[in-house]
Structure 1
Amino acid sequence: MAWNQPGNNGHDRDPWGSSNNNSGDSGGNNNKGGREQGPPDLDDIFRKLGKKLRGFGGGNKTPDNTGGSKGPAHNGRYVTLVAAAVVIVWAGSGFYTIKEAERGVVTRFGKFDRLVQPGLNWKPTFVDHVIPVNVESVRELAASGVMLTADENVVRVEMNVQYRVTDPERYLFSVTNADDSLRQATDSALRGVIGKYTMDRILTEGRTVVRNDTQRVLEETIRPYDMGITLLDVNFQAARPPEEVKAAFDDAIAARENEQQYIREAEAYANEVQPRANGHAQRILEEGRAYKTRTILEAQGQVQRFAKLLPEYKAAPEITRERLYLDSMERLLSHTRKVLISDKGSNNLMVLPLDQLLRNASATDATGKATSSSSLLPLPPLTKPAAGSVESSSSDTSSSGSVMDQRRANAQRGSTTRVGGE
């Protein structure tokens, strides 16, 4: 029989002086002999716990084969196993893992307690609650809507906001919903910026300005809320008129593009024509200067020529006059193909169209080569003006005047000259 077997008829065999008091006192163990109480007995604790549980169940006992009943120790072992299993399950359920890109926000009974780093961690179940928050991924938020511009037009704008969570605690507990608050702030900032610019500028060259202004206003709006997020970029994706007026607006855009195209074409034409006109003007100026110089030099040459001719004229006027006449006629008749023949004693004037005859002769030439006019119809040599008068007409007005002057001079002398071929 064991030294500490219960029911030993009051004989205490416990070497530490403790005994089981079945009389129902609250301690259940008495300190005998003045010695201190030893460590508690686990079997005794679980046995008392089993008694209390059986008391809640009615205290029924199952008789054994010997006519007695099973003791409380057998039922206490069941309770112990159940309690141990509950404790093991409870402890095992407290293990959790935080990913590398996340941070764990631990709340104890609903109040923030601490931040948990990535890895395997443990928490007391039903006491602590862990909320993992991704702090490395880039999140996107889209904002769009129909907005009013400064010139009272309506435009549909789409914008994309990229941000990252930098403070998990502030992200979860600073506002009710940080993502929804950021969406509302983005919509407010975008509407405020769109209302400052006209529709043409928003749709054309003002896209960068709208983007920068929206990002600046959005950062100023969310800063007082301290939501634990950082804006990375704001992308102005699309701006277009509403579908109801899209056709008319497309026509306006096409007209504006045509206007710009015509302006560019006009500028290109101006850039092409202006240098050419400048060159032409410069050429005219140079030709004018050259003509001026040439005229001056020719006049000076004629003056020098007449200055040298004057002594000769004074020495022999008749011979000099005839020589001048012959030179002038030779110079004039060398540029005309028409010959005028005046018959003596007749008022008829014959005109030989030598130019037309020369053209016909050149067209009917078998060899296909044009023949010079001097070889077909040679002009008669000039003779001394003595008895007749024959004048040659030129298309040149100045030349005709010279011939008429000579003709009047010959008429005064009463001489006639015949020049030409029969």
Structure 2
Amino acid sequence: MAWNEPGNGGNKDPWGNRGNSGPPDLDEVVRNMQRKLGGIFGGNKGNDSGSSGSGPAGSIGIGLIAAIIFVVWLLSGIYIIEPAERGVVTRFGAYTHTAMPGPHWHFPYPIERVEVVDVSQIRTVEIGYRSSGGRPETNVQSEALMLTNDENIVDLKIAGQYRIEDAAQYFFNVRTPDTVLRQMMESAVREVVGQSNMDFVLTEGRSEVATRTEQLLQTMLDQHETGLTVTSVSMQDVQPPEQVQAAFADAVRAREDEVRLRNQAEAYANEVLPRARGEAFRIIQEAQAYKSEVVARAEGETSRFLQVMAEYEKSPVVMQERLYLDAMESVYSRSQKVMVDLSSDSNNVLYLPMDRMRGASGSQAAPLDLQNLTAFPNTGSSQSSGTNNARDDVRSRGGR
């Protein structure tokens, strides 16, 4: 049977008022709470009248609560900035200063607020593609296709890294700094590519395009006071459009062959030219040495001739004899003829080894050992007559 059905009596009241069938009095509940608070903060516990909450003790309790709340509110203004962070302090929404690393205090909300930003975090911006985690890259053709100075189109992907340099400028000067940086970087790389030829961008100009883009992007960021600093810009990939990649690959291979052949030619030239220069230097040195030798010999012969002429003028006969003997000595020293002088009463003929004398190498004849010559008996008149003629020739020349 339900509690409010007739005949159950008053002991079924859910509020516990067994003697009263109506709901509890709200004023009575408030007075009970005031009495309990007054008792906690030193009020009159035995006073059941409604004036207990408005006495001096109640005022002290309320003031104490307000003081505690105020102290807690002031302590809530304490904050700590990490070494890699900066705190932007605003008062009623207006910028006041930037808090450096360390403990600080500010007027709590709603008077002042602190926006903490990590200035050491390196952020990345990508132009021409998007990469997320381990997923494959997504091409953004609207950003990747760029026009070069020679009216060709390249498919370019470039990435940049940046960080926050000035936290106040980052928060207040630009509404969306990261989006603005992406737009500025796309504008900068399009300007650099538009000033370059296609071959330059696709081959040796990749690093230069990245460097010029970084410089131009930083200039634009400084002009707009975005508070951002570009740390690096790197070229990820650059290719001709997909429709002409096959033809371009053939052109690249031809260009590589040209470079290879040029390098081979330069290597051959570097090998041949030093050898030719060394050979030419050697020939010049030999010619100079030969020249010095000929000049020195001519000067020596001239000096000798002058000395001999001076002596000849002093004694012509003696000098004629000496010159004759010197000339004959020089002539006979190179001749293979042998003249032997034998006594008239000798019947022996000397044996001369003509085969060994004629076979001697060089222009100088082999020296003749007269002591080891073998004597044979004189068997004919021809030998004796030849020997006598040789002896007569020697004697006749010696008597002159």
TM-score, normalising length from structure 2?
Answer: 0.50
More helix by share: 2
TM-score, normalising length from structure 1?
Answer: 0.48
Larger CA Rg, structure 1 vs 2: 1
